[in-house]
Amino acid sequence: MLRLALLFLVAGLILGALGFGGIGGAFVGIAKILFFIVAALFAIFLVLGLTAGKAVRDRLD
């Protein structure tokens, strides 16, 4: 999904440079939304991974 966000960002920047500001702005907006979704999922899975790893380590000891 991060690759898709980067694709939208690059496409938006290229469209903006070519004079298609409205479409380019929409693409950059979509890229922002996707980036924040990726960041939120990363944070959630990081916390879940740390807590699950701690539980496994406690049971093994």
**How many angstroms separate the CA atoms of 21 and 23, rounded?**
6
Place of tokens 């000891």: 61
Q: Would you place residue 1 in the very low, low, confident or very high pLDDT band (cuts 50, 70, 90)? A: confident
pLDDT digits (tens, 9 = 90+) for 4-55: 999 999 999 999 999 998 999 999 999 999 999 999 999 999 999 888 877 7
Looking at per-residue pLDDT, the higher value among 58 and 30 belongs to 30
- The count of domains in the chain is 1
| pTM, 2 dp | 0.76
Q: Which amino acid is at 55?
A: A
Give the chain as a DSSP string: -HHHHHHHHHHHHHHHHTT-HHHHHHHHHHHHHHHHHHHHHHHHHHHHHHHHHHHHHHHH-
